[in-house]
Amino acid sequence: MSISKRFAELEHIRSALNEADADPGRIVMERMLSATEAEIAGRRTILAGTNNYLGLTFEPGILEASHQALREQGSGTTGSRMANGSFASHVALERSFAEFYEVPAAMIFSTGYQANLGILTGLLRAGDKVVIDAHSHASIYDGCRLSGADFFPFRHNDPEDLRKRLRRLGDDARGALVVTEGLYSMLGDIAPLAELLEVTEEFGAYLMVDEAHSLGVYGEQGRGVAEAAGILDRVDFITGTFSKSLGSMGGFCVSRHEQLNLLRYGSRPYIFTASSSPANIAAAHWALDHVRSHPELREKLWSNVAQLYSGLKDLGFRLGSAPSPVVAVRVDSHDEAARIWNELLASGVYVNLVVPPASPDGASLLRCSVSAGHSPEQIETIVAAFGEAISRTAFAGACCSG
Ligand code: PMP
């Protein structure tokens, strides 16, 4: 395709979003007021779509840690760790991750996207086999493609389908890689990790779990869905991000295989990009320590989740089958989703508008992410705004279950 054709194709997508008044990319947070509020189009708006699960971004401790790193280590690293060397703060953060997960190896990356790309392209070569959950994040699909390995999606959260796919690989199933997530970011459902691990082990394959949305949220110590499922010591690779519950930017991988460290010599997304800035690293490190020492934050989060989930359920909205920090409201069409989304914005509530092809199963969603930083009053306001949005529109019956 020529560049001009590509421009035309993109212009078509943009104008369709504009016409539907449904372009999330046009939202500008003109002024951040707190971890849960910003000014958008001049209006004070509650943020219920920013993955700030623990609400740490404005904590005095995280700000002070970042300021101190900025003062003492400068504004940027100006290069990659392989070329320029590591800052002591990168090494210290890796040590903390390894200690937190009780594993011998941890690597950090400049984003969570790069962590998945870095691990998949570092581990896999052309001809290798990788079996991934069909609802996997784009970074997992992209990492598989870039690695040149043969990859096969299995039906979302379906251990029996995983078994079928692995069986079809014959002898190649031994040593293959299986990839899943902990908490899925769009529908807010969690993977049946114990069952998926059982199947993986049955075939002698390796398991990688992306806990981007579940770090700090699930498990007694906040280590994610694998911890909650009691299988943390049997998962081969766990990846995740600093950009959600840790309120910073960056990514990580921890592994029970000490050889993870060898990827430093063969993972291009690790080698050929600048390492994270000192301020980002300091913020992530402060937040990781905070997650470990403040389990009450998770209690607060889960109490907010229960309030939002039951409030929306009582209004008759169609939600996922179990409460989680991602509360996805399912509506019948793209147009409905866009209309409710705009109504919510007009009443000062920001959630995510998720429509095909970005959504799984062709769903049209109003995706809320809950934060420990939300007050009960803010959650009440969010629920009330949803209630008003459906009462003001003609399709109330169509979007709700009862
Ligand atoms: N994995 C999953 C499941 C994600 O949802 C995301 C971000 N949306 C990432 C990885 C990438 O994380 P980051 O924003 O740090 O690049």
Listed in sequence order, the residues at least 6 apart from 185 whose beta carbon sits closer than 8 Å to its beta carbon are 51, 137, 212, 213, 326
Measured between alpha carbons, how far is 233 from 205 in angstroms, rounded to an integer?
15
In order of 10, 52, 68, 87, the CA distances from 90 in angstroms are 39, 23, 15, 5
8-47+295-392 folds as: Aspartate Aminotransferase, domain 1 (3.90.1150)
Q: What is the mean pLDDT of residues 310-330?
A: 96
Tell me the pLDDT tens digit for each residue of 67-120.
Answer: 999 999 999 999 999 999 999 999 999 999 999 999 999 999 999 999 999 999
Q: Which residue has the higher pLDDT, 339 or 358?
A: 339
Q: Please give the structure tokens belonging to residue 77.
A: 């690293």
pTM: predicted TM-score of the whole model, two decimal places: 0.96
Q: What's the 131 CA to ligand 1 centre distance in angstroms?
A: 19
Is the minimum distance from the CB of 111 to ligand 1 under 6 angstroms? yes
For the chain, domain boundaries: 8-47+295-392, 60-293
- Whether residue 274 contacts residue 77, with contact meaning beta carbons closer than 8 Å, is answered with yes
pLDDT in tens, 143-162: 999 999 999 999 999 999 99
Indicate if ligand 1 lies below 6 Å from the C-beta of 210: yes
Residues 6+ apart with CB under 8 A from 253: 106, 107, 109, 115, 118, 119, 237, 238, 239, 240, 260
Cα of 151 from ligand 1 centre, angstroms = 20
Ligand 1 atom closest to the Cα of residue 251 is 15
- Is the peptide bond prior to 357 cis by the omega test (within 30 degrees of 0)? yes
Q: What is the pLDDT of residue 394?
A: 53
**Choosing from 185, 277, 324, 347, which is the catalytic residue?**
185
User: Ligand 1: distance of its center to the CA of 218 in Å?
Assistant: 17
Hey, which of 116, 119, 137, 242 would you mutate to test ligand 1's pocket, going by the most ligand atoms within 8 Å of its Cβ? 137
Considering the four listed CATH numbers 3.20.20.80, 3.40.640.10, 3.40.50.970, 3.20.20.100, the one that applies to the domain covering 60-293 is: 3.40.640.10
Which residue in the list 90, 135, 137, 244 is annotated as catalytic? 244
Band of residue 165 on the pLDDT scale cut at 50, 70, 90: very high
Q: Ligand 1: does its nearest atom lie under 6 Å from the Cβ of 212?
A: yes
Average confidence (pLDDT) over 301-328 = 97
pLDDT of residue 401: 43
Residue 19 pLDDT = 86
C-alpha to C-alpha distance for 82 and 241, rounded to whole angstroms: 21
To test the pocket of ligand 1, the residue of 50, 217, 241, 248 to mutate (highest count of ligand atoms within 8 Å of its CB) is: 241
Q: How far apart are the C-alpha atoms of 263 and 242, rounded to whole Å?
A: 20
The model's pLDDT over 215-250, given as tens digits with 9 standing for 90+, comes to 999 999 999 999 999 999 999 999 999 999 999 999
Please indicate whether residue 185 is annotated as part of the active site. yes
Residue 147 CB–ligand 1 contact under 6 Å: no
